[in-house]
Structure 1
Amino acid sequence: MTSQPSAAPEVVDRARFDAALARQIQDEKEVTRHNDRVSAGRRRLPMLEVENYKFAGPDGPVRLTDLFGDTYLLVVQNVMFGPDWDAACPRCTWAVDNLPSNMGRLTDIGIAFAMISHAPIEKLNAWRTRQGWIHRWVSSGPTTYHRDFGWTDTDENGETFWRPGYSYYLLKDDTPYLTYATTGRGTEAIFPVSHIRDRTVYGRQQDWEDSPDGWPQQPTYG
């Protein structure tokens, strides 16, 4: 929504504003401290040895270990793109567009990035070109990767569905290990646009948010 809503916060004097802002900042500091505690737990997770899958790449087979390049850490975005689809999931596409414009900031600190989808490599290449993406993108089609880790699953009616998310790997002694994975709203941690919107007066303007009466809201996936 780009048109300006009529609803707006109460207008107050400087003293009331400063007091209200101070209370909000205090709450946010506690969220930061709690996030630090959660991150400390993440660093203490065990890890799982993972098969060195052979994916399909633009120029031929690509092993999971190849995705690390010269680094020992790897972040994989599991982009929803079914084998019979002609386009990637709009939400996943938006997530890729949220990535840093200078991905070298990651490789400079030893973190590689790649995307993996279930669709054939020809479809991935076509969508990648259309979107103008430079990120490495491989197909898990020849493997059981998507099924093994639940990125592709089957519901109670026998219908196949896909999950978006991120997998974090460590390469140690030439063996890949899974150290962390997240899906659902856990993916929001790397979405700067969402966090920027959260701090505007109207938030994300989505119907799940607890906002004052009259605040603009629309369906989350509308």
Structure 2
Amino acid sequence: MSKSGLPNVTDRASWQAELDALRLREKAHTRAGDALAAARRRLSMVEVDATIPLVGENGRVPLLAAFEGRGQLIAYFHMWHAGHDSAGQCEGCTYFNGQVRELSVLHSRDVTYATLCQGPYEPSVRYRNFMQWDVPWYSAQDSLQALLGDRPTAPSPLVFYVRDGNRVFETYWTSGRGLEPLAPSYGLLDRTVFGRREGWEDQPEGRPEPMWPDDVNPMRINGRPIAQWSRIAAGRDDTLA
């Protein structure tokens, strides 16, 4: 390990040999992920009332409408901190939900992605607009019990639905680190030499200190979710009232 915390320098052939050995483990990890995905596709499903109401840009609509005519729906249940301004909104949801930008590939697979916010429609859609997100946005505030039952609402669940005609079924849900597929930033950082720079990571001795120790929120800087700062710098209005 060098004094700068960088890895040791070696010749290209030796480096490639190390990388080839690691690649075998990476491929095994990928195959294990494929096997898990295959197991998910074989899970049973549970019926959900397709008429459960949501509130969107056209007012009150049934859950079925959130499919936008497609066969499947991926719904992120964005948390909402009632009574807080933009700076006080959920940094985790801002981080994860804000990275879902290009929907055309999902649509080409007959899948709709939508945010079902746990708060009221008007202030939360203003937050969506401040963040310059363009994903479909609904309030599920009055239907959380019907949609989620007794499962935790924090961290926000990501829920997967399929429809058969006018009937709707829930096929899978996840939360916590299961949300990481929403965040390609993590996958990219995991492949850098210093990783995520968070305190929990297994780092070689001598690497730079974590930018976010265990007792510091890695999704918030100077009192705001990290992704908000570029919007503030651009002069965007973050008023929710």
Q: TM-score, normalised by structure 2?
A: 0.80
Q: Indicate the residue corresponding to 2:112 in structure 1.
A: 112
Q: Indicate the residue corresponding to 2:135 in structure 1.
A: 135
CA RMSD, Structure 1 to Structure 2 (Å)? 1.8
Q: Indicate the residue corresponding to 2:62 in structure 1.
A: 63
C-alpha distance in 1, partners of 2:45/2:170? 6
SS in 2 for 1:25: helix
User: Residue deviations 1:22-51, cap 9 Å, x none?
Assistant: 111011011011111111101100001012
Q: Indicate the residue corresponding to 1:78 in structure 2.
A: 77
C-alpha distance in 1, partners of 2:128/2:140? 16
Structure number with greater CO (CA < 8 Å, separation at least 6) is 2
Asked if the contact 1:84/1:119 (under 8 Å) is kept, the reply is no
Equivalence map 1:157-196=2 (5 Å): 162-196=154-188
The reply to whether residue 23 of structure 1 matches residue 21 of structure 2 is yes
Q: 2:213 aligns with which of 188, 210, 219?
A: 219
Deviation at 1:96, TM superposition (A): 2.1
Q: 2:194 aligns with which of 202, 206, 218?
A: 202
C-alpha distance in 2, partners of 1:42/1:84? 38
SS in 1 for 2:30: helix
Asked if the contact 1:76/1:114 (under 8 Å) is kept, the reply is yes
Deviation at 1:123, TM superposition (A): 1.3
Letter in 2 for 1:108: S
Unaligned regions of 5+ residues in structure 2, if any? 219-241
Deviation at 1:151, TM superposition (A): 4.1
C-alpha distance in 2, partners of 1:65/1:86? 31
Q: 2:30 aligns with which of 21, 26, 32?
A: 32
Unaligned regions of 5+ residues in structure 1, if any? 153-161
The reply to whether residue 7 of structure 1 matches residue 1 of structure 2 is no
Deviation at 1:190, TM superposition (A): 2.8
Letter in 1 for 2:110: G
C-alpha distance in 2, partners of 1:6/1:97? 34
Deviation at 1:177, TM superposition (A): 0.5
Asked if the contact 2:73/2:162 (under 8 Å) is kept, the reply is yes
C-alpha distance in 1, partners of 2:167/2:130? 34
C-alpha distance in 2, partners of 1:22/1:42? 30
The percent of aligned pairs where both chains have the same amino acid is 30
User: Residue deviations 1:125-147, cap 9 Å, x none?
Assistant: 11011111111111112222465
Asked if the contact 1:50/1:176 (under 8 Å) is kept, the reply is yes
Deviation at 1:219, TM superposition (A): 2.7
Deviation at 1:79, TM superposition (A): 0.9
